């Protein structure tokens, strides 16, 4: 029995169709046409998801079953069952409930350290997931909550349209945590004189970009399209890192001239920050968890003055009047 031991494999399985395809191939080999018929999808659409499963090492080519003369290749799962490696969800005291949250934010990670230090009867585990991956992992039950800052291009509304899409018909809730200032991170003195997104298309400017599914990547792609800027005309557009911290490190180390990120990471790396916009940063969770007494200490802390003071210590983090506000989404 193989072990799923990387976040990349978990992320692949975060897509419900991929998970369903894997389960089907765990039962018996199948061709793309057969899988398409099973899931009422075109073989081309199925091929995209099977390719992702193959790259993650979860499925492979196999020979055609005996007594059949199909020209198509057959795929099968590399195992009939998997274990999820507990290194991804570290062992915690059995006497304490564990709350697993998908997030890459600096302030959110501090929550876990706070609960460890205070011994408040609950253990927080933070999985380093971007906004879209966090929603998918929440949908698959890998985490119990996730953070989100995804802007819908048509309406400009944050988070709710994406939550409705991933959780149709399910009662969900959001809790407003804080606002973050996002912008351009550049070298000290801003030697390339970068002022806005239009400057990313200059031939002597090199960008470091974020991965697909990250909130800032979604925002960037939306605004590049509005400006009529083509990704292929931006040097470094395909140079990908996985966090705001890595963006700042790439600029600091001279691998790029500019990247999009938060002010706190720019300051930590002793870089300059050019603010572009403010965004809400929400916690997403099933609505039923709001009334779960096991997690009452966590919700109480989110509404405490101590948490507000912690947020204010981070440059570019703002405490809105709606902090701690709960909204239901059905």
Q: How far is CA 30 from CA 37, 47, 66, 264, in A?
A: 11, 12, 13, 50
Question: Residue 69: is its pLDDT beyond 60?
Answer: no
- Burial zone of 291 (CB within 10 Å; 0-12 exposed, 13-18 middle, 19+ buried): exposed
In the numeric block, which tokens belong to residue 293? Answer: 């007494």
Rounded percentage of the chain residues whose pLDDT exceeds 90: 50
Domain residue spans of the chain? 2-84
**Mean predicted lDDT score pLDDT of the chain:** 86
pLDDT of residue 87: 44
In the numeric block, which tokens belong to residue 17? Answer: 């169709």
Are the beta carbons of 212 and 238 closer than 8 angstroms?
no
- The CATH-assigned architecture of domain 2-84 is Orthogonal Bundle (1.10)
- Residues 148-203: tens digit of each pLDDT: 999 988 888 999 999 998 999 899 999 999 999 999 999 999 999 999 999 999 99
- Burial zone of 204 (CB within 10 Å; 0-12 exposed, 13-18 middle, 19+ buried): exposed
pTM for this predicted structure: 0.71
Supply φ then ψ for residue 13, to 5 degrees. -75, -5
- Residues 93-136: tens digit of each pLDDT: 545 667 888 888 888 888 888 887 877 777 888 888 889 888 98
- Residues 254-288: tens digit of each pLDDT: 999 999 999 999 999 999 999 999 999 999 999 99
Q: Which residues contact 227 (CB under 8 A, 6 or more apart)?
A: 197, 198
């Amino acid at each position: 029995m193989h072990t799923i031991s990387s976040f990349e494999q978990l992320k692949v399985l975060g897509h419900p169709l991929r998970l369903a395809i894997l389960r089907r191939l765990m039962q018996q080999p199948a061709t793309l046409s057969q899988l398409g018929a099973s899931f009422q999808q075109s073989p081309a659409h199925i091929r995209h998801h099977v390719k992702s499963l193959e790259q993650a090492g979860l499925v492979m080519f196999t020979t055609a079953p005996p007594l059949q003369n199909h020209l198509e290749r057959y795929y099968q799962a590399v195992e009939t069952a998997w274990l999820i490696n507990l290194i991804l969800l570290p062992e915690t005291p059995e006497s304490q409930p564990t709350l697993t949250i998908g997030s890459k934010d600096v302030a959110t990670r501090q929550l876990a350290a706070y609960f460890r230090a205070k011994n408040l009867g609950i253990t927080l585990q933070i999985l380093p997931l971007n906004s879209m991956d966090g929603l998918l992992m929440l949908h698959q039950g890998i985490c119990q909550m996730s953070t989100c800052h995804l802007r819908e291009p048509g309406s400009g509304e944050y988070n709710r349209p994406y939550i409705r899409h991933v959780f149709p018909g399910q009662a969900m809730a959001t809790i407003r945590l804080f606002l973050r200032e996002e912008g351009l991170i550049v070298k000290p003195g801003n030697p390339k004189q970068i002022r806005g997104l239009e400057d990313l298309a200059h031939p002597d400017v090199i960008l470091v970009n974020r991965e697909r599914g990250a909130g800032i990547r979604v925002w960037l792609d939306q605004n590049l399209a509005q400006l009529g800027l083509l990704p292929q005309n931006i040097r470094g557009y395909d140079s990908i890192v996985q966090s705001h911290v890595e963006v700042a490190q790439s600029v600091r180390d001279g691998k790029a001239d500019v990247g999009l990120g938060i002010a706190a990471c720019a300051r930590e790396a002793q870089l300059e920050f050019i603010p572009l916009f403010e965004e809400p940063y929400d916690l997403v969770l099933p609505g039923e968890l709001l009334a779960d007494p096991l997690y009452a200490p966590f919700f109480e802390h989110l509404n405490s003055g101590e948490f507000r003071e912690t947020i204010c210590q981070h440059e570019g983090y703002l405490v809105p009047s709606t902090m701690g506000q709960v909204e239901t989404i059905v």
